[in-house]
Structure 1
């Protein structure tokens, strides 16, 4: 036995060496080159027709262009100059970069105008890169001697927040220039990514060698480390609609701290340090550099208006994220660190819920673990979207119901109360998923003290759940019912009257939705398109995740258990109702009347009830295999690693 463990530790060591080598090679051949490149992040360009006549500026004049860098570093800047080539070059130009807040000249340059050939860019590298520049005010100052016939090009339109000033007079136009930085921020991000990845593989391997075979343990290890990498690689604002959920979270924090929630225009009050963070919804090099630079900004707690109003959802919908942002406020963290605290607490909430869900499941543990570890699931879990909470609570509700069906001998008031609390928390977040709570009706009557107790529970359960949901989301429900007005002329969104008035066409729309978009739905359930749909994961990786899920159907040892036919029918009917509700909601709110299919439906909408639906596949004819959980966990880990490198490639290829 000791000899076997020794061999396993040696194999793990070799695996770590191999993975470490792959990480180093990826850095050397992919990351290093991009990290050492320079790029423009303030880039004012103009065609020849968009540049002012420069003859007015020839001679002894000074031009000042104020800038406010969004990133935390300046390595050089470039200025476009115009020179009169018909006269001899005799003048001298003086250029300096001036720090307004410190009232100091950072660096200055003098050069002869003969270096300028017509319309030409001149480069001004800094002897030492200027750091911690994000949000600070600088000026590019250019002055010319009296005999100079060259001057910086100025646009005839305003293309930047600050206009150029010539001899103290403000112009309606901007100096043609760009500010450059390197991509060195990629190096610390890649180091953090590498450390988390290696630790995750090490812990997973150690768990196997030490004889830990519990699916919930595998899930927790993979969830902690793989989820952490989604936090590292996916900054705030990158997940779908995350900016809107962030506004709701800020509003909830204001309520808890007893501050004014919104201004007279309905926009959320936030600290100035929060408002400074611009919405960067695409995962690009520029946006990642901006987010990285925001980590080092000084905290400003002055209350100002945010750029949007909160979405109309109950406070419980963003409770985990609210806790994180509240911690950031109480400890005076800056805006970016505060947002990351919200992502961390969201992930922790998700991991805790799913861990206990898998732990109490009597069977189908790996089915739930695989679904909960899909790239789409983890991206949402580490975001501000209320899908994090909906998925976690839905899985917990389904698991606890399965526990009551198969393992609990007597269902008492405590068990009923737990289901009611979880259901009442989950359903108001997204009303369509209230039907998941209907799975509680799969609990057999014999589990209760008597039939009367069972009937009382189920009637009370449905009544209280409906009252809670309708009470909390009444505005949304009224809006949905209001869409039945057939006189609506909105270009986006059908009405119930339109759908019913032409049933043949409506059936055709449904046909197109399910059969033309099925590939998209299957892919996006797993995570084919991450972020704001710009990170495409290859199909061979998606198929790998699907195979792991299929393999998980056979990962139950011991006594064979499965749902009865009437319980399976109930789960299928509930899933069909929720699928129809999702499609109908997007049909009514999001689909233009001229489209041939329902728009806006995404695979992630089916995640909350997917475990319940897959549990119906189990039967007494299903062949079970023992001790395959570790193989599935290794497969999921490998596929996640491949997914992360695909994300890296998407980020890096933008530099080419």
Structure 2
């Protein structure tokens, strides 16, 4: 960086970075202005009395209506149903004052007759919000402030609703006004929230342009720009709306409770939480919309003016304990730190998210540092995509899995072209052991260690004595140790899920198949010892092994399809109340119904293929099964083109993988895709016509491998490396995704 940073480049970079920051700042202001126009007058109401059958005119002394307000309930306005007796454009002003039990004025609302229409509800907003500390009775005084032409009526019930008397002066009326209370209003919150995002997004744009023009290392670019964009995702993604975040919160919260020495669950296995956290714990995806944003900020502001929260776990939540199967160390650490400081729920959630983000960025930066020079820019582009940053800016354990797989991939590519040091060998085994149990479908990625030439992993002694008198290269032992460790830990973590997937297959047959596989492996080793010194024998052995493997796969499928355990017609018709079959695809069912499974997959590809691509890139936000928030498809096109630009080979550059290694890598990618399809089938009801729950983000860990394969393309090549420009383009699209995503989150309204 010092060699290429001339004074002219330094000044130009600084000016360009300032221009980019200013542009992003103006974009944030525009988003706030646009949202304020669309959402600045959004209101939420709660019905107090919806029984109305007659009209009561407002007398000179006004009407006095009492109504109850529960403890903890807020009111910032009211809505009344007026009648103008079919007359229009009356001049005048009506006032609706709110009083507490002691006669203290809480708020005043005014309404011009020009805005009051016949037989319609009209809202009166107060300057602030009042929250009842206990159950109490409030009073509305409705009167005329300016004389009007003709009578003004209010719809009311025929008879008094208990606890809600109506008076005209001192005379009781046998009626109760049709009344709704305004529990919340958006006010200027759209502008305030957009302004709070501006510093982070402007900082990200400034750093991205400056580091790109100054030709900073990919590690520095990833750490600085990724941190700014990730922190923006922490704020943009509403609470508990990231994929399965409510489950991840329960798991991390439980772990933090155990670290604190507290009892995490009651006798029924329900999670115990602090009193301040109890209202927000649930078993569903959180709310979105401007009021979800406002609630979070309001709770944080209120908590900053209050005493620290009580750390005692006194409330039983709906969430269950024991839901965490992945690593929740960073999330639990953040929650533990926030609870130790007495922070409120939303601050606690953000702290857990930030710790998760920091771990992901540390792993991604390590991956960029480990990767060979030609792959670092590509890894940086993938790491700052919207999807990985969205996962990292939530409580999802997929972020740490993603960073670990990136590190393992980068290390394997690094060792393809250099002799491994001792620490690199140890790191290879350790990372392979972590990747194995991290997530079931990523076990094939461990096979990437076999693309490393054995000579690069060899120790001081190139050959060691193995079984059957076979001389084995020490490098192969490193690869075998990586695979065995990963496989053993994978079985430990996923044995239960594997047994469930094979629930209708004979366990004895599976055991016999495993034993036969072990015997075949020993036989292959013996044959290899016999043929390794003869090229002709070795070639025949390889062909024979390929034919035997194909025959074994076909024979295994045939055996599973004839093993029995199928569902009878009555069982096939059994469904849940929502119409879904109570049976899902299992290993045996798939093998017995290969045509039906193939048809389901063929229907799924055209229907969900675009959504999978969006899931890989991150142009669909939140939990897509619950909320479909898709940003502009132009951003998706820009991300795809930027990734392809970073993946194109450069003239004179040596490809990271050789021909045979590239074929093996393609096989690993296909195995991961196939494993994800099998897992998705395992939770898809058998009466579905398409796959259920398969998301493109599952393939994100192998995206760098797919892009590395593009570097072997011979038809198109670049004169110089375009990874810096590609990273800047990806960052720009990520920033635009954040801005548009914030607008989509804030303006979302439930479908009526």
Matched, 1:519 2:529: no
Among candidates 185, 188, 192, match of residue 184 of structure 1: 188
Matched, 1:384 2:384: no
Relative to structure 1, the CA distance from residue 416 to residue 33 in structure 2 (aligned partners, 3 Å threshold; closer, same or farther) is: same
Among candidates 495, 498, 509, match of residue 586 of structure 2: 495
Aligned twin of 1:375: 386
What secondary structure is seen at the aligned counterpart in 1 of 2:43? strand
- 1:349 is displaced (CA, Å) by 0.7
1:144-163 mapped onto 2 (5 Å cutoff): none
What secondary structure is seen at the aligned counterpart in 2 of 1:268? strand
1:433-448 mapped onto 2 (5 Å cutoff): 433-447=442-456, 448=458
- 1:573 is displaced (CA, Å) by 1.7
Question: How many angstroms apart in 1 are the aligned matches of 2:24 and 2:109?
Answer: 51
1:191-270 mapped onto 2 (5 Å cutoff): 191-209=195-213, 211-270=214-273
Contact 2:437–2:486 (8 Å) recurs in 1: no
Contact 1:75–1:182 (8 Å) recurs in 2: no
Q: Greater CA deviation, 450-459 or 437-446?
A: 450-459
Mark the structure with the bigger radius of gyration.
Answer: 2
- 1:542 is displaced (CA, Å) by 0.2
Question: How many angstroms apart in 1 are the aligned matches of 2:73 and 2:376?
Answer: 47
1:314-463 mapped onto 2 (5 Å cutoff): 314=325, 317-362=327-372, 363-407=374-418, 409-412=419-422, 414-447=423-456, 448-449=458-459, 450=462, 451-463=472-484
Cα shift readout 1:59-95 (whole Å, capped 9, x = no counterpart): x997532246688xx542324589999xxxxxx9996
- 1:605 is displaced (CA, Å) by 0.8
Contact 1:561–1:620 (8 Å) recurs in 2: no
- 1:559 is displaced (CA, Å) by 4.9
Contact 1:81–1:152 (8 Å) recurs in 2: no
Cα shift readout 1:207-264 (whole Å, capped 9, x = no counterpart): 245x333222222232111111111211221112111111111111122222222223
Question: How many angstroms apart in 2 are the aligned matches of 1:13 and 1:233?
Answer: 24
Matched, 1:301 2:311: yes
Q: Greater CA deviation, 457-466 or 538-547?
A: 457-466
Contact 1:83–1:151 (8 Å) recurs in 2: no
- 1:336 is displaced (CA, Å) by 0.8
Matched, 1:619 2:712: yes
Aligned twin of 2:664: 570
Contact 2:676–2:698 (8 Å) recurs in 1: yes
Among candidates 44, 48, 52, match of residue 47 of structure 2: 44
Contact 2:649–2:711 (8 Å) recurs in 1: no
- 1:351 is displaced (CA, Å) by 0.7
Relative to structure 1, the CA distance from residue 118 to residue 572 in structure 2 (aligned partners, 3 Å threshold; closer, same or farther) is: closer
Among candidates 512, 531, 542, match of residue 636 of structure 2: 542
- 1:345 is displaced (CA, Å) by 0.6
Question: How many angstroms apart in 1 are the aligned matches of 2:630 and 2:713?
Answer: 39
Aligned twin of 1:107: 106
Aligned twin of 2:146: none
Relative to structure 1, the CA distance from residue 207 to residue 502 in structure 2 (aligned partners, 3 Å threshold; closer, same or farther) is: closer
Contact 1:227–1:378 (8 Å) recurs in 2: yes
Question: How many angstroms apart in 1 are the aligned matches of 2:336 and 2:742?
Answer: 31
Aligned twin of 1:171: none
Unaligned runs of 5+ in 1: 86-91, 157-162, 168-173
Q: CA RMSD in A?
A: 4.0
Relative to structure 1, the CA distance from residue 119 to residue 335 in structure 2 (aligned partners, 3 Å threshold; closer, same or farther) is: same
Q: Greater CA deviation, 580-589 or 366-375?
A: 366-375
Matched, 1:477 2:478: no
Question: How many angstroms apart in 2 are the aligned matches of 1:383 and 1:75?
Answer: 32
Relative to structure 1, the CA distance from residue 142 to residue 295 in structure 2 (aligned partners, 3 Å threshold; closer, same or farther) is: same
Contact 1:483–1:588 (8 Å) recurs in 2: no
Among candidates 571, 588, 595, match of residue 504 of structure 1: 595
What secondary structure is seen at the aligned counterpart in 2 of 1:273? coil
1:63-102 mapped onto 2 (5 Å cutoff): 63-67=66-70, 75-79=76-80, 96-98=98-100
Relative to structure 1, the CA distance from residue 476 to residue 109 in structure 2 (aligned partners, 3 Å threshold; closer, same or farther) is: same
Matched, 1:285 2:290: yes
Contact 1:555–1:628 (8 Å) recurs in 2: no
- 1:184 is displaced (CA, Å) by 2.3
What secondary structure is seen at the aligned counterpart in 1 of 2:377? helix
What secondary structure is seen at the aligned counterpart in 1 of 2:327? helix
Normalising by structure 1, we get a TM-score of 0.83
Among candidates 137, 141, 162, match of residue 138 of structure 2: 141
Relative to structure 1, the CA distance from residue 384 to residue 152 in structure 2 (aligned partners, 3 Å threshold; closer, same or farther) is: farther
What secondary structure is seen at the aligned counterpart in 1 of 2:207? helix
Relative to structure 1, the CA distance from residue 505 to residue 290 in structure 2 (aligned partners, 3 Å threshold; closer, same or farther) is: same
Normalising by structure 2, we get a TM-score of 0.73
Relative to structure 1, the CA distance from residue 178 to residue 17 in structure 2 (aligned partners, 3 Å threshold; closer, same or farther) is: closer
Question: How many angstroms apart in 1 are the aligned matches of 2:336 and 2:650?
Answer: 42
Among candidates 687, 696, 710, match of residue 594 of structure 1: 687
Question: How many angstroms apart in 2 are the aligned matches of 1:70 and 1:473?
Answer: 47
Question: How many angstroms apart in 2 are the aligned matches of 1:630 and 1:82?
Answer: 66
Contact 1:359–1:365 (8 Å) recurs in 2: yes
- 1:379 is displaced (CA, Å) by 0.7
Aligned twin of 1:170: none
Contact 2:353–2:393 (8 Å) recurs in 1: yes
Contact 1:432–1:581 (8 Å) recurs in 2: yes
Cα shift readout 1:358-417 (whole Å, capped 9, x = no counterpart): 11101322222222221111111111112111111111111122222223x1353x4343
Contact 1:95–1:140 (8 Å) recurs in 2: no
Relative to structure 1, the CA distance from residue 143 to residue 180 in structure 2 (aligned partners, 3 Å threshold; closer, same or farther) is: closer
Question: How many angstroms apart in 2 are the aligned matches of 1:568 and 1:175?
Answer: 71
Q: How many residue pairs are counted as aligned between the two chains?
A: 618
Relative to structure 1, the CA distance from residue 290 to residue 278 in structure 2 (aligned partners, 3 Å threshold; closer, same or farther) is: farther
Q: Greater CA deviation, 425-434 or 369-378?
A: 425-434
Question: How many angstroms apart in 2 are the aligned matches of 1:108 and 1:53?
Answer: 28
Question: How many angstroms apart in 2 are the aligned matches of 1:343 and 1:402?
Answer: 30
Question: How many angstroms apart in 2 are the aligned matches of 1:426 and 1:328?
Answer: 30
Question: How many angstroms apart in 2 are the aligned matches of 1:110 and 1:196?
Answer: 38
